[in-house]
């Protein structure tokens, strides 16, 4: 039986500034608190899974530089006992990093330098070697923030789509997590990967962009279901669409779920909450839990992430979440 999860894609160092309010142009605002942490889809999900403190083998897959930011990524993985054999380093590109401006209780804004993430290629992700280690799940995050893997070729295919197809052919379950990037090729990039995606994670903003729809309200169940159904029709086997107030699990049927209320005073930052939700569900998929159990764990993990400034530092062991 297969065991283990490989998380491929974005590796980013987040420098998170908590500010009292968003300034007007040319104005000044005080930074009340600063924290540095590892971020990005692959990094957040694998570090969250490690924080659950289970015995699952975990594999980091991606591309970082040879700079100080790279050392932060490697140190975080070493501390969490994550295998970094497939987290490659390149002297040609800096490690991706983000300046995050967080207004507690409100929102956060990202200033992103893509660095090595944009150079991550199909050749950097040895699918067959990962499968040979008996990994059960292959996660990719985030399409539309990985320039080389996102290249839409004349036949409509992308390198990311080929990677996912190879992962499925090698016997792994594929999980794909989208990101709210505003690019004109968003829908085309997503369309290419859907036939090779067993579980698709996205929010209402990404659902609208992936299906060329107008904005979807976070509590509009009819339009959320409509978008999820359209994505399923394009090939995704299971669509897991989450907003700040609810989640939809769509496979053969539609299951709705809502998180437990959180005291707004406890929310320090929304950075990484979506990835924590994803990590909880991926663990449940690995363990063959029901959809109801998976959504419950995802909501609880996301709530824990909201109560810390960085993406993963607030995630407790699994026993505290179930």
**Do residues 7 and 57 lie in contact, with contact meaning Cβ atoms separated by under 8 Å?**
no
The DSSP 8-state label assigned to residue 253 in this structure reads: S
Map residue 2 onto helix, strand or coil.
Answer: coil
Q: Check: CB of residue 84 under 8 Å from CB of residue 111.
A: no
User: Would you state the structure tokens that stand for residue 206, as one six-digit string?
Assistant: 């990404």
What tokens appear for 36 in the block? 């540095």
Q: What percent of the chain has pLDDT over 90?
A: 86
Decide: 304 and 265 in contact? Cβ < 8 Å: no
End-to-end CA distance of the chain: give it in Å, rounded. Answer: 25
CB 139 within 8 A of CB 156: no
Give me the residues of the chain with pLDDT under 50, please: none
Span 7-46, pLDDT tens digits = 999 999 999 999 999 999 999 999 999 989 899 999 999 9
Identify the pLDDT of residue 272: 78
Q: What is the rounded CA–CA span in Å between residue 153 and residue 157?
A: 5
Q: Report pLDDT digits (tens) over 235-270.
A: 999 999 999 899 999 999 999 999 888 878 777 777
How much is the pTM?
0.93
């Amino acid at each position: 039986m297969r065991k283990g999860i490989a998380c491929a894609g974005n590796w980013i160092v987040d420098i998170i500034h908590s500010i009292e309010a968003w300034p007007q142009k040319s104005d000044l605002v005080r930074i009340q608190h600063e924290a540095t942490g590892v971020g990005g889809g692959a990094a957040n999900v694998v570090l969250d899974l490690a924080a659950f403190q289970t015995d699952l083998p975990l594999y980091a897959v991606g591309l970082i530089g040879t700079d100080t930011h790279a050392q932060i990524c490697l140190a975080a993985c070493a501390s969490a006992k994550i295998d970094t054999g497939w987290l490659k380093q390149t002297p040609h590109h800096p490690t991706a990093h983000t300046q995050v401006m967080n207004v507690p209780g409100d929102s956060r804004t990202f200033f992103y330098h893509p660095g090595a993430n944009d150079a991550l290629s199909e050749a950097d992700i040895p699918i067959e070697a990962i499968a040979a280690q008996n990994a059960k799940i292959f996660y990719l995050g985030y399409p539309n923030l990985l320039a080389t893997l996102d290249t839409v070729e004349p036949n409509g295919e992308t390198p990311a789509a080929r990677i996912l197809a190879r992962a499925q052919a090698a016997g792994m379950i594929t999980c794909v997590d989208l990101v709210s990037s505003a690019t004109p090729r968003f829908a085309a990039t997503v369309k290419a990967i859907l036939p090779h995606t067993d579980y698709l994670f996205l929010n209402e903003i990404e659902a609208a962009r992936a299906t060329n729809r107008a904005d979807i309200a976070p509590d509009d169940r009819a339009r959320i279901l409509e978008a999820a159904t359209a994505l399923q029709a394009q090939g995704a086997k299971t669509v897991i669409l989450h907003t700040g107030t609810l989640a939809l699990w769509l496979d053969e049927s539609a299951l709705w779920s809502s998180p437990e209320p959180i005291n707004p005073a406890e929310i320090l930052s929304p950075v990484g909450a979506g990835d924590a939700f994803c990590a909880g569900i991926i663990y449940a998929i690995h363990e063959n839990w029901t959809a109801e159990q998976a959504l419950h764990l995802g909501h609880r993990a996301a709530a824990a992430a909201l109560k810390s400034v960085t993406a993963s530092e607030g995630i407790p062991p699994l026993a505290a979440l179930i």
